[in-house]
């Protein structure tokens, strides 16, 4: 499809650890929303970025890793492709991972626009993982990193354990609420539905 007049340049960046048994064919199918959006007929055809200096979409088979540093021209409808991709990658992932997506306003020119004009640049952080716990773990780790980086400008790192504990408490509450919501729709214990929590194991650090 032709996207020469697309209002955005969309950059997708991230690394996703994959299960050891994941094949190229499975990954190609999971990433189909991306390469078909780019107008390609296969992952190999669509893996190349709009910019030569970017590595594009790479399957590191020995490391069981999906590496993405890829730009495509597009519009707001690309968000639907991202949602579909994430749903598919959840089933192939070994661990939780974050994927950064940046929408650059291709029609905005700072030199030509009026001082009051604002670009439509946008940034989205997506998360994939084999379980809700794995996804929450990545979210937790990124938040702790951001908060600690910010607060270390004013406090020593050793003083921030209480802040980290409060973040863990918040994620623990969210995880428990998720588990409880999954339990509501399960058959009573002893009826063949099993007795384990639907949300799986609680993430690390969430005490």
DSSP code string of the chain = ---TT-SEEEEEEEEEEB-TT--HHHHHHHTHHHHHHTT-SSHHHH-S-SSTTS-EEEEETTTTEEEEEEEEEE-TTHHHHHHHHHHHHHHHBSS-EEEEEEEEETT--TTTS-TT-----EEEEEEE-SSHHHHHHHHHHHHHHHHHHHHTTTS-GGGGHHHHHHHHHHHHHHHHHHHHHHHHTSPPTTTTS-SS-TT-SPPTT--
* Res. 196 pLDDT band, cuts 50 70 90: very low
Q: For residue range 146-193, what is the model confidence (pLDDT) as tens digits? A: 999 999 999 998 888 898 899 888 888 888 887 777 666 555 554 444
Give the rounded percent of residues in the chain with a pLDDT score beyond 70: 80
Under the phi-then-psi rule, with left for phi > 0, alpha for psi from -120 to 50, and beta for the rest, what region is 190?
left
CATH of domain 8-129: 3.30.70
Cβ–Cβ under 8 Å, residues 68 and 13 = yes
Q: Report the predicted TM-score, pTM, of the whole model to 2 decimal places.
A: 0.77
Tens digit of pLDDT for each residue in 17-64?
999 999 999 999 999 999 999 999 999 999 999 999 999 999 999 999
Residue range(s) in the chain whose domain bears CATH number 3.30.70:
8-129
Question: pLDDT (tens digit, 9 = 90+) per residue, 74-124?
Answer: 999 999 999 999 999 999 999 999 999 999 988 766 655 555 667 788 999
């Amino acid at each position: 499809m032709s996207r020469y007049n697309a209002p955005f340049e969309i950059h997708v960046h991230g690394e996703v650890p994959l299960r050891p048994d994941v094949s190229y064919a499975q990954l190609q199918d999971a990433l189909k929303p991306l390469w078909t959006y780019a107008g390609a007929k296969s992952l190999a055809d669509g893996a190349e970025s709009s910019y030569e200096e970017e590595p594009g979409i790479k399957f590191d088979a020995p490391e069981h890793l999906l590496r993405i540093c890829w730009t495509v021209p597009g519009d707001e409808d690309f968000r639907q492709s991202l949602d579909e991709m994430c749903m598919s990658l959840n089933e192939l992932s070994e661990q939780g991972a974050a994927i950064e997506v940046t929408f650059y306003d291709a029609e905005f020119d700072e030199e030509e626009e009026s001082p009051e004009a604002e670009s439509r640049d946008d940034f989205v952080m997506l998360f994939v993982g084999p379980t809700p716990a794995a996804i929450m773990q990545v979210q937790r780790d990124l938040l702790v990193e951001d908060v600690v980086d910010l607060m270390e400008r004013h406090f020593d790192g050793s003083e921030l354990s209480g802040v980290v504990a409060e973040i863990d408490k918040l994620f623990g509450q969210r995880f428990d609420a998720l588990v409880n919501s999954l339990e509501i729709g399960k058959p009573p214990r002893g009826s063949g539905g099993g007795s384990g929590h639907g949300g799986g194991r609680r993430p690390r650090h969430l005490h």
